[in-house]
Amino acid sequence: MSALKLSINGKSHTIEVDENMPILWALREVVGLTGTRYGCGIAQCGACTIHLDGEAVRSCSLPVSAAVGKKIITIEGLSAKGDHPVQQAWAEVDVPQCGYCQSGQIMSAAALLRENPKPTDEDIDIAMQGNICRCGTYTRIRKAIHLAAEKAR
Amino acid sequence: MSAYTTFDRRSFLKVTATAGGGMLIGFQWLTACQPTTAGAANTWVEYNAFLKIADNGQVTIMAPNPEIGQHVKTSLPMIVAEELDIDWKAVLVEQAPLDTDKYQRQIAGGSGSVRTNWETLRRAGATVRDMLKEAAAQEWQVPVSECTTENGMVKHTSGKSLAYGALAAKAAELPVPEEVIFKAPADYKIIGTRAKSVDLDNIVTGSQQYGMDTKREGMFYASIVRPPAFGQKLDNYDDSEAKAMPGVTDVVRFDDKIAVVGTSTWAVISAKAKIKANYSAAAKLESTDGYMQALDELAAKGSAEPRRQDGNAKQAFRQADKVLEATYQAPFLPHAPMEPMNFFAHVQEDGVELYGPTQTPASARRETAALLDIPEDKITVGMTRMGGGFGRRLRTDFVLEAVQVSKAIKAPVNVIWTREDDMTGGIYRPAYVYHYKAGIKNGELAAWYLRAASVNSGNGTRQDNFPAGALNNWQVDYNDYASAITTGAWRAPHHNFAAFSDESFVDEVAHELGKDPVAFRLELLEKAKSRPGGEVKFDPDRYAGVIKLAAEKAGWGQSKPTGVYQGIGAHFSFSTYVAQIADVSIEDGKPKIHRIVCAVDCGIVINQSGAENQIEGSIIDGLSHAMYSELTFKNGQPEQHNFNAYRVMRIGEAPVIEVHFVKNEEAPTGLGEPGLPPVIAAVGNAIFAATGVRVREMPFTKIDLRPKDNLLGELIK
């Protein structure tokens, strides 16, 4: 166990954890931010996607020690009032079914739009390929990302 | 269309001073959590199991059924709100716990939530609307016939009006009307609109709670070691290394399972890997090749007692001009919902609390009572929103695990399954083998004979599927294969395979007869009206209606871009009619699906957005499993453990989807399942149209569809 200092959603947290614990479980069970979801544990489904220094990463497969000195942004911190263009577009299109994968989908989409403010369908397919939705909301996800791109302009 | 109904006179009325919690819906972005009505609620009048109104006019509607992503937490309250005649945006929705006195059939299964609650929910809203109207009439001392309602107000012909909140207490003192008149569909203001999921804002901000997020004072986490192969039992184990791991508080055994208990999920799943267990075989440890062959042989035997028999198929084959034969098959599939299994239990001396994702809370309570030998009224069951389920959460094995662990450690516990546990822990869509024979006589389909086999299914056929009843000679036989591999309901049980194989074989017959596949189906449906073969379990006109609508919208029979071919699949399941047309091309010997056009007849559509979403999702689910997925076994062990080896559809493979609903005033039916089955046949039939190759097994991507001369070219290279 070590005391690790982390920057999460703009706030500094010092937590006592096994430093091999994946960021996912530290966020969910130590810090109490449960919006980041467990889906596979091996970086195959994308439900656990967060931003680490602005880049979309799978928090289930990175030890918490790898986040020291970096800025973690989770779904709870993506926007102060839940009004990031991607969140607004997701609501407008009524994307979710069960909703479980959607935190990860939204975090991947937000990272895509920062890199590429006007993605094509093909860009979206490539960037979102790592996020599984078993309910099958893919066509709505594509639509919502285009809408978010418009809103951000 | 309006209907009279007799109200079951029960003493529902109850006035409470507690403000119920709940999720405010329909609020504006950025003004979240500001109720649209002024002031705080002081007194709530609970009129019936579904509805309460506060003195400030706030209306709370209970969502009775488990929410698994099918949006019944939104659609069921919409029905109450419609008849109550209020502004949907001002409604609070609350998830009800299990209460078998107040609610009927609290199950997420059989696409039955809307269908079975339609009458009850309309009555719940309409009786209260009439009581509020009566209260206003008495207040104004006018005939009730001069009063109307609109958006949470009672209005009088003179122009006077009173808000529901101001009438709530007075209305509660009135007798519950025995008869009410339901609204005519033409007057609907909420039903048929595009309402967003009531949990939408919680989902997009990450604050939505699922079972995995349950955390209570003094709660432990547990991860369970189960026998790795179906058919094995646990002999003994060494837990010394696991127990020495940080964060591990206990290791307990029950049945053939070992639970590692601790203070965090990471601690218990890490320690679980350190358990050294020895197992021995208690049943046959099966492998994929072996059981597929066994199923094939079992199916070929036929059965002495058919599941359905009209006329004499065997005799008709002897008299036929030609007999077609084909064998279809499909593998086991896990459900693989995004949220793996988990459940919370707290077993105490005086009662048990169960809380978590379950499609059948009543079964969870009943089986817990049986396990602990306590009365059911000592057990409460709370339902979380579920991260999918697809039938897996109709079972209670994971609930009973939590009960066993909590009982053993005398503390509250959340049992968490890893993805590997979820994929290898059992309850699968069974494997199938179907042998078909069709007899052709004088250019017509004269006889149909299906001999089927599946695993631990009781009846793994849907013997009344189209075209049953449309021809004189029809027989369906079934043999069940007993296996240690556990099986259960998987979205649209048996239909998910039967629709693929039936609708593909219908296509084979159409091509043999040189008939257009759409025209051939319509011809059979026309024949079904005269019932030459006995019972017809579907409405041929509604069935034909979706086929015609899909064909029209998809441009069936019209020219297509080069290399794009169409196939049709149509199916009736769970009281809903669905037809789908797939546009497919072949690229590098693999099918590429460009577009699915879908027509649905589910009667009245409650929530247009939710309904379209269900169909879109069902299509993706069907395509995903048709194209990519299979669970194989070696010596009783599943060979795919996670999404790296078990493939599901990803966004880049998702086609364009168009959904069209037939507009009518039939009572609404469910949409959670019926959109899935026909799409598999639609793609298979399009592949045939493109290549002349008939795909008779899933997943389709295993089949090399390169033309033979190309294949030769590849070999020479």
Q: What is the CA radius of gyration of chain A?
A: 15
Task: Give B708's pLDDT tier (boundaries 50, 70, 90).
Answer: low
User: CA B611 to CA B195: how far, in whole Å?
Assistant: 10
Secondary structure letter of residue B661 according to DSSP: E
Q: Could A134 and B652 be called an inter-chain contact, meaning their C-beta atoms sit closer than 8 Å?
A: no
Q: In A2-151, which ranges are E strands?
A: 2-8, 11-17, 49-52, 55-58, 71-73
Q: Which residue has the tokens 């009032």?
A: A81
Q: What are phi and psi of B165, to 5 degrees?
A: -60, -40
User: CA B57 to CA B537: how far, in whole Å?
Assistant: 47
Q: Report the run of H or E that residue B502 belongs to, with start and end.
A: helix B495-512
| B602-621 per-position pLDDT tens digit | 999 999 999 999 999 999 99
Among A18, A82, A137, whose Cβ lies nearest the Cβ of B201? A82
Q: What are phi and psi of B556, to 5 degrees?
A: -60, 135
Cβ-based contacts of B613 with chain A (< 8 Å): 94, 97, 137, 140
- Whether the Cβ atoms of residue B566 and residue B582 lie closer than 8 Å to each other: yes
- Check whether B1 has a pLDDT greater than 70: no
- Whether the Cβ atoms of residue B591 and residue B687 lie closer than 8 Å to each other: yes
What is the β-pairing status of strands B257-262 and B248-254? antiparallel
User: CA B537 to CA A25: how far, in whole Å?
Assistant: 51
To the nearest whole angstrom, how far is the Cα of B65 from the nearest Cα of chain A?
A: 14
Cβ-based contacts of B657 with chain A (< 8 Å): 139
- Whether the Cβ atoms of residue B350 and residue B436 lie closer than 8 Å to each other: no
Q: B46 - beta bridge partners? A: B14, B52
Reported ipTM: the value is 0.98
Helices (H), B244-379: 265-272, 288-301, 313-319, 361-372
- Among residues B544, B514, B545, the alpha carbon closest in space to that of B528 is found at B544
- Cβ neighbours of residue B28 under 8 Å, at least 6 residues apart? none
- Check whether B713 has a pLDDT greater than 50: no
User: CA B277 to CA B201: how far, in whole Å?
Assistant: 45
- Whether the Cβ atoms of residue B268 and residue B248 lie closer than 8 Å to each other: yes
Mean pLDDT score of chain B, rounded to an integer?
93
Q: What is the CA radius of gyration of chain B?
A: 28
Average pLDDT over residues B491-516: 98
pLDDT at site B30: 28
Among B196, B215, B617, whose Cβ lies nearest the Cβ of A137? B617
Contacts 24+ apart (CB under 8 A), B641-645: B641/B419, B641/B420, B641/B423, B641/B424, B642/A40, B642/A41, B642/A42, B642/A44, B642/B419, B642/B420, B642/B423, B643/A39, B643/A40, B643/A42, B643/A44, B643/A45, B643/A132, B643/B336, B643/B419, B644/A42, B644/A44
User: CA B528 to CA B547: how far, in whole Å?
Assistant: 15
- Whether the Cβ atoms of residue B700 and residue B687 lie closer than 8 Å to each other: yes
- Check whether B22 has a pLDDT greater than 50: no
- What DSSP line would sit under B535-576, residue for residue? ---S-HHHHHHHHHHHHHHHTTTS--STT-EEEEEEEEETTE
- Whether the Cβ atoms of residue B667 and residue B604 lie closer than 8 Å to each other: yes
Test mutation, B204, B392, B491, B612, chain A, max A CBs within 10 A: B204
Q: Could B205 and A87 be called an inter-chain contact, meaning their C-beta atoms sit closer than 8 Å?
A: yes
Q: Does A139 touch chain B (CB under 8 A)?
A: yes
Q: Could A37 and B614 be called an inter-chain contact, meaning their C-beta atoms sit closer than 8 Å?
A: no
- Check whether B23 has a pLDDT greater than 70: no
Q: Could A45 and B338 be called an inter-chain contact, meaning their C-beta atoms sit closer than 8 Å?
A: yes
pLDDT at site B21: 35
- Check whether B10 has a pLDDT greater than 60: no
Q: How far is the first Cα of chain B from the last one, in angstroms, to the nearest whole number?
A: 69
- Whether the Cβ atoms of residue B537 and residue B470 lie closer than 8 Å to each other: no
Q: Could B650 and A140 be called an inter-chain contact, meaning their C-beta atoms sit closer than 8 Å?
A: no
Among A21, A74, A83, whose Cβ lies nearest the Cβ of B29? A83
To the nearest whole angstrom, how far is the Cα of B143 from the nearest Cα of chain A?
A: 44
| B114-153 per-position pLDDT tens digit | 999 999 999 999 999 999 999 999 999 999 999 999 999 9
Rounded to the nearest angstrom, the gap between the alpha carbon of residue B363 and the centroid of all alpha carbons in its chain is: 17
- Whether the Cβ atoms of residue B691 and residue B708 lie closer than 8 Å to each other: no
pLDDT at site B531: 86
Among A25, A41, A106, whose Cβ lies nearest the Cβ of B204? A106
Among A36, A98, A142, whose Cβ lies nearest the Cβ of B388? A98
- Check whether B39 has a pLDDT greater than 80: no
- Whether the Cβ atoms of residue B386 and residue B67 lie closer than 8 Å to each other: yes
- Whether the Cβ atoms of residue A134 and residue B336 lie closer than 8 Å to each other: yes
Which residues numbered 89-128 in A keep a CB inside 8 Å of some CB on B?
A: 90-91, 94, 96-103, 106, 124-126, 128
Q: What are phi and psi of A74, to 5 degrees?
A: -110, 175
To the nearest whole angstrom, how far is the Cα of A135 from the nearest Cα of chain B?
A: 5
Q: What are phi and psi of B125, to 5 degrees?
A: -80, -45
| B128-138 per-position pLDDT tens digit | 999 999 999 99
pLDDT at site B468: 97
pLDDT at site B709: 52
Helices (H), B229-312: 240-243, 265-272, 288-301
pLDDT at site B26: 28
Q: Provide the number of CB pairs (under 8 Å) joining chain A to chain B.
A: 194
- Among residues B352, B407, B348, B404, the alpha carbon closest in space to that of B375 is found at B352
- Kindly give the interhelix angle for B677-691 and B608-627, rounded to the nearest 10 degrees: 50
pLDDT at site A1: 82
User: CA B437 to CA B327: how far, in whole Å?
Assistant: 9
| A2-52 per-position pLDDT tens digit | 899 999 999 999 999 999 999 999 999 999 999 999 999 999 999 999 999
To the nearest whole angstrom, how far is the Cα of B670 from the nearest Cα of chain A?
A: 15
- Check whether B647 has a pLDDT greater than 90: yes
Which residues numbered 18-37 in A keep a CB inside 8 Å of some CB on B?
A: 18, 21-22, 25, 28-30, 33-37
Give the number of C-alpha atoms closer than 13 A to the C-alpha of residue B182, restricted to the C-beta side.
24
- Whether the Cβ atoms of residue B221 and residue B264 lie closer than 8 Å to each other: yes
| A63-116 per-position pLDDT tens digit | 999 999 999 999 999 999 999 999 999 999 999 999 999 999 999 999 999 999
Highest mean pLDDT among B45-49, B109-113, B169-173, B671-675: B671-675
Cβ-based contacts of B392 with chain A (< 8 Å): none
pLDDT at site B183: 97
Model confidence, pTM? 0.94
pLDDT at site B717: 39
Q: Could A97 and B203 be called an inter-chain contact, meaning their C-beta atoms sit closer than 8 Å?
A: no
- Whether the Cβ atoms of residue B372 and residue B402 lie closer than 8 Å to each other: no
pLDDT at site B181: 95
- Distances B465 to B65, B285, B474, B508, B528 between C-alpha atoms, Å: 29, 34, 11, 16, 12
Q: How far is the first Cα of chain A from the last one, in angstroms, to the nearest whole number?
A: 46
Chain B residue with minimum CA distance to A47: B338
Residue A146 buriedness (CB in 10 A; 0-12 / 13-18 / 19+)? middle
To the nearest whole angstrom, how far is the Cα of B642 from the nearest Cα of chain A?
A: 7
Chain B residue with minimum CA distance to A123: B652
- Among residues B368, B370, B373, the alpha carbon closest in space to that of B352 is found at B368
pLDDT at site B706: 82
Rounded to the nearest angstrom, the gap between the alpha carbon of residue B59 and the centroid of all alpha carbons in its chain is: 29
Percentage with pLDDT > 90 across chain B: 89
- Whether the Cβ atoms of residue B326 and residue B681 lie closer than 8 Å to each other: no
Q: Does A9 touch chain B (CB under 8 A)?
A: no
Average pLDDT over residues B55-69: 94
Rounded to the nearest angstrom, the gap between the alpha carbon of residue B245 and the centroid of all alpha carbons in its chain is: 41
- Cβ neighbours of residue B372 under 8 Å, at least 6 residues apart? B347, B352, B403, B407
